Amino acid sequence: MKKTPFIDKKTAEEIDAAYPTPFYVYDEAGIIQNVENIKSAFAWNKGFKEYFAVKATPNPFILKLLKEHGLGVDCSSLTELMLSKAAGFNGDDIMFSSNETPAEDYVLAQELGAIINLDDITHIDYFDKLCGLNETMSIRYNPGGVFTVSNGIMDNPQDAKYGMTADQIYEAVKIMMSRGVKHFGIHSFLVSNTVTNDYYPMLAAKLFELAADIHTKLGADISFINLSGGVGIPYHPDQEPNDIFVIGDEVRKVYDEILGSAGMGDVAIYTEMGRYVLGPYGALVTRAIHEKHIYKEYIGVDACAVNLMRPAIYGSYHHITVLGKEDAPCTDTYDIVGGLCENNDKFAIDRKLPKIERGDYLYIHDAGAHGFSMGYNYNGKLRSAEILVHPDKSFELIRRAETPQDYLATFDFSDFTF
Q: Which residues bind ligand PLP (CB under 6 A)?
A: 53, 55-56, 74, 97, 189, 192-193, 228-231, 272-276, 369
Do 84 and 94 contact (CB within 8 A), yes or no?
yes
Instruction: Using DSSP, state whether 24 is helix, strand or coil.
Output: strand
Question: Residue 166 CB, nearest distance to ligand PLP (Å)?
Answer: 19
- Nearer Cβ to ligand PLP, position 54 or 264? 54
**CA-CA distance, 222 to 137, in Å (whole number)?**
10
- Distance of alpha carbon 265 from alpha carbon 246, whole angstroms: 20
For ligand PLP, the nearest residue by Cβ is 229
DSSP string of 293-327, one letter each residue = ESSSEEEEES--TTT--HHHHH-----EEETT-TT
- Minimum CB distance to ligand PLP smaller for 188 or for 223: 188
* Closest distance of CB 56 from ligand PLP, Å: 5
CB 316 within 8 A of CB 388: no
* 189 vs 372, beta carbon nearer ligand PLP: 189
Cβ nearer to ligand PLP, comparing 189 with 347 = 189
Least separation, in Å, of the C-beta of 308 and ligand PLP?
A: 15
CA distance 343 to 346: 7
CA dihedral 256, 262, 268, 272 (to 10 degrees): -80
CB of 162 to ligand PLP, least distance (A): 8
Q: Please state whether beta strands 94-97 and 115-118 pair in parallel, antiparallel, or not at all (unpaired).
A: parallel
Q: In DSSP terms, which residues pair with 140 in a beta bridge?
A: 187
Smallest separation, CB 129 to ligand PLP (Å): 24
Distance in Å, CB of 150 to ligand PLP, minimum: 18
Q: Which is nearer to ligand PLP, 244 or 273 (CB)?
A: 273
Nearer to ligand PLP, 96 or 184 (CB): 96
Report in angstroms how near the CB of residue 31 gets to ligand PLP at its nearest: 14
If you write DSSP's letter for every residue of 188-231 in order, what string do you get?
----SSB-SSSHHHHHHHHHHHHHHHHHHHH--EEEEEE--S-B
Question: Cβ closer to ligand PLP: 21 or 76?
Answer: 76
Cis status, amide bond into 22, omega within 30 of 0? yes
